[in-house]
Amino acid sequence: MSGIVGLYNLDGRPVEHTDIQRMVDSIAHRGPDGSGVWTDGSVGFGHRMLWTTPESLHEKLPLTNKAGNLTITADARIDNRDELIPTLNLNGRHRETISDSEIILAAYEKWGEQCPEKLLGDFSFAIHDKRKHIIYCARDPIGIKPFYYYFKEGKFRWSSEPKAIFEDKTISKEPNLPLICLYLLNRFDEREETLYKDVYRLPPSHFMVLQNGQIRKGQYWDIDPDYSIRYRTDEEYAERFLELFKEAIRVRLRSHGPVGALLSGGLDSSSIVCTAQSLYQEKSIPDQEFEAFSIIFDEFSCDERSYINEIIRQWPIKGNFFTYEKNLSWIEFDQANYYPEVAYFPTLLIIGPALGNAQQKGIRVMMDGIGGDDLLGMYYTHLTDLFFRGEFFKLIKYLLSVTFDSSSQSPFSLFIQYCLKPSIPPPIKIHLRQFLRHFRGNGIPPWFNHSFLNNLGIQERLYKKQKRSPLQFPERSKQEVYDWLRFGWNFNIALEMIERFKTHFDIESRYPFLDRHMIEFCFSIPAEQLWSTEWTKAVLRKSMEGILPESIRCRRTKAEFSAMIDHHFNQKRGNQLEGLIQSSSLANLGIIQRDRLKKLFENYHDGNTNNSIRNTFQHFLWLEMWLQFTISPYYTKGDDKNGRAC
């Protein structure tokens, strides 16, 4: 995790050193180990450095090649260095003196616009190509490293965080009202728009070229839906999975100092921690200091310390425990003052004390199990595949198996939802939805201001076909996983907020489950390797035999945080939440109806809750605090288009 910024004046006006320096200074928290600024006429690059790898200790950015015609600024970790260094003729020097940015620059010289497809790792970078008079930008396949940009009125500005873009005071800091509405409606499939009007993300797995005053984008990588791998036995699948998993962890353990891991006691994070220990034991990587960091609970059933202790007993790991009830200050509402660009979610902020402790210990790299559920969970659409293939005996076994012990749905309801409903012909579905709309309404909650939504065209965005890739997978279950990886909550919101939060602790997250080769493998094997009649994540569980404690390897339950969230919102912060509703900026903008949302909260406070209601107030809090602490001090236009003060 470092920070990049840049600007380009399309009218040819020279970049002032102070302009790019202000952008760099605004993201100082992303890189305490140094900064750099480079300008050349109408182009300026900036960088904030965080040392996380041995090679980064020798890295100076922005970097210009020997010919003086290519300059790069990058936030990158390249994992296939050993392969690329000889291919790019970078041999002849000690490898620790060859930086990842130098490898990217050499890859661009050799392969041009398609260079990102040759890179494995997490990266976000911009290159000024003086030969072609272009700015070339790219982002890693999953979007681990952020890239935001503004392109309007002869200005091109980009950064690792939107705040740097607004150092140009001629750029108005305005909320993106349509996207706010969609987020409140639990729609998170927008990959490019951000909460700021006119500020966009470069989508994952894409490059972008600015040339002759025009932007052109291209996708350099995607999953091949027709590629498949078939082995003879479950053991062979597990063996290959373990090879890839070990390599994904090994390359992410590359660090110039001690390494940490967020350990919950669940299957995913536990598999990472135990496999890392096996790599140290095998001498596959130099033995570094390694510590686990865990949040535990004294009063809630989501406590998993018994599983965490099993891991610590099996492997020589130092565990660090942080009790939720003793660190409640971390989830106070006023945390939005300290981290205004970070979404207010209690389940994110509760890791604050662990991150703070890791920072004190000099840990810059934190392993994380995010991605395991998304890639390997397979959810219930696997039932749809079985139904349409006519594998009814296997379907019945699934429905009646212990796999669903922790499900809140009965086998009958699962059969209706995932077998009968998908079998309804599309024309009939359309007429059925239109008929039911007379009884159910249009799906917009009553606490929304419907006329405001109509003015913004939200109805049309909700009912038009969602923008999806033309990729179509033979199995519906894999199509759902693909859509979730591309358009889901974790990959459009959660990863972004986790990354932004951890920057305040000088920590870079690394996600082995989101390794490109891991993803390609999991999409190429039979769905039954992900969901067997016994349990989900079958291939992971099989591969972890002898590595993971059996109580965790065979675990079928997951920690459930809803009780903790309900208690926090209702018992601890009920009055404050009610006060935020009363003074709501969202209501002042005309998006929501204050009285109706207050009524919903009263019902919630009385114990009438479900995931939908809980999510409503989580999203309300996030967006309300973002408006009040990030937008309101700057959004001084007076009234919006609907005549309401912001």
**One domain, residues 40 and 82:** yes
Note whether residue 637 is domain-resident: no
- The mean predicted confidence, pLDDT, of the chain is 91
CA distance 35 to 317: 35
Q: How confident is the model over 109-133, as pLDDT tens digits?
A: 999 999 999 999 999 999 999 999 9
Q: What is the pLDDT of residue 408?
A: 63
Sorted by sequence, the CB contacts under 8 Å of residue 546 that are 6+ apart come out as none
Distance CA 370, CA 511 (A): 6
Domain-embedded: residue 225: no
Instruction: Specify the pLDDT at position 441.
Output: 57
Decide: 581 and 597 in contact? Cβ < 8 Å: yes
7, exposed or middle or buried, with CB in 10 Å at 0-12, 13-18, 19+? buried
Task: Tell me the β-bridge partners of 72.
Answer: 63, 127
Question: What average pLDDT does range 526-554 have in this prediction?
Answer: 91
| More confident: 642 or 228 | 228
Strand, coil or helix: 438: helix
Helix-helix angle 516-524:476-487, to 10 degrees: 160
- CA nearest neighbour of 8 among 105, 133, 131: 133
Residues 355 and 504 in one domain: yes
- DSSP-derived letter for residue 105 is H
Contact yes or no for 224/483 (Cβ under 8 A) = no
Instruction: Identify whether residues 566 and 520 lie together within a single domain.
Output: no
β-pairing verdict for 199-201 and 148-152: antiparallel
On whether residue 640 sits in a domain, the answer given is no
118 Cβ neighbours under 8 A, 6+ residues apart: 84, 107, 111
Nearest C-alpha neighbor of 496 from the set 509, 479, 514, 480:
509
Place of tokens 């979007």: 143
Segment 187-217, tens digit of pLDDT: 898 899 999 999 999 999 999 999 999 999 9
What pLDDT score was predicted for residue 532? 78
Residue 627 inside a domain? The answer is: yes
d(CA 252, CA 242): 15
Q: With CA atoms as reference, report the closest residue to 275 among 293, 257, 256, 252.
A: 252
Domain assignment present for residue 241? The answer is yes
* pLDDT band, very low/low/confident/very high, at 623 (cuts 50, 70, 90): very high
Could you tell me if 383 and 371 lie in one domain? no
User: Which range has the worst mean pLDDT, 12-21, 307-316, 370-379, 577-586?
Assistant: 370-379
Pick the closest to residue 547 from 367, 369, 315, 375 (CA basis). 315
CATH, residue 248:
3.40.50.620
Q: Clarify whether residues 10 and 157 are in a common domain.
A: yes
- On whether both 139 and 176 belong to a single domain, the answer is yes
Residue 636 reports pLDDT greater than 60: no
Q: Is the pLDDT of residue 439 over 70?
A: no
What is the reported pLDDT for 93? 86
pLDDT reading at 305 higher than 60: yes
- Weakest mean pLDDT among 98-112, 298-312, 389-403, 479-493: 389-403
Q: What is the CATH number of the domain that holds 126?
A: 3.60.20.10
Residue 171 lies in a domain: yes
Number of domains in the chain: 4
Structure confidence at residue 334 (pLDDT): 86
The per-residue b/e assignment along 462-476, b for 16 or more CB within 10 angstroms, e otherwise, is beeeeeeeeeebebb
pLDDT at 139 (0 to 100): 98
pLDDT (mean) for 255-261: 96
Could you tell me if 313 and 325 lie in one domain?
Answer: yes
Q: Are residues 153 and 23 in the same domain?
A: yes
Q: What would the mean pLDDT of 174-197 be, rounded to a whole number? A: 94
Cα–Cα distance measured from residue 98 to residue 81, given in angstroms and rounded to the nearest whole number = 9
Confidence (pLDDT) at 638: 42
Residues linked to residue 542 through DSSP beta bridges, in sequence order: none
- Tell me, yes or no, whether 292 and 336 share the same domain: yes
Q: Which residue has the tokens 């809090």?
A: 621
Q: Of the ranges 241-245, 261-265, 456-460, 495-499, which one carries the lowest mean pLDDT score?
A: 456-460
Which of 553, 570, 587 is the last residue in one of the domains?
553
Write the secondary structure of 566-592 as one string of H (helix), E (strand) and C (coil).
HHHHHHHCHHHHHHHHHCCHHHHCCCE
- The whole-number pLDDT of residue 425 equals 87
pLDDT category, 438, cuts 50, 70, 90?
Answer: low
pLDDT at 639 over 70: no
- Reply yes or no on whether the pLDDT at 528 is more than 80: yes
What value, to the nearest 5°, has the Cα angle with vertex 349 and ends 343 and 354? 145
| Residue 638 within a domain | no
Burial 150-163 (b: 16+ CB within 10 A, else e): bbeeebbbbbbbbb
Considering the domain architecture, whether residues 453 and 573 belong to the same structural domain is answered as no
Tell me, yes or no, whether 309 and 399 share the same domain: no
**CA-CA distance, 409 to 403, in Å (whole number)?**
12
Q: What is the pLDDT of residue 412?
A: 86
pLDDT surpassing 90 at residue 378: no
With respect to residue 339, please indicate whether it lies within any of the assigned structural domains. yes
d(CA 151, CA 158): 9
Confidence (pTM)? 0.94
Residue 437 vs residue 249, higher pLDDT: 249
For 223-227, 529-533, 547-551, which range has the lowest pLDDT when averaged over its residues?
529-533
* Co-location of 389 and 426 in the same domain: yes
3-state secondary structure labels for all residues of 140-158:
CCCCCCCCEEEEECCEEEE
Beta bridge partners, 217, equal 208
- Residue 391 sits at the vertex; the CA angle it makes with 386 and 396, to the nearest 5 degrees, is 85
pLDDT score of 401: 73
Task: Give the 3-state DSSP-derived string for 519-535, with helices as H, strands as E and coil as C.
Answer: HHHHHHCCHHHCECCCC
Residue 27 in 3-state DSSP? coil
Q: Which domain holds residue 302?
A: 234-375+498-553
Query: Would you state the pLDDT for residue 625?
Result: 93
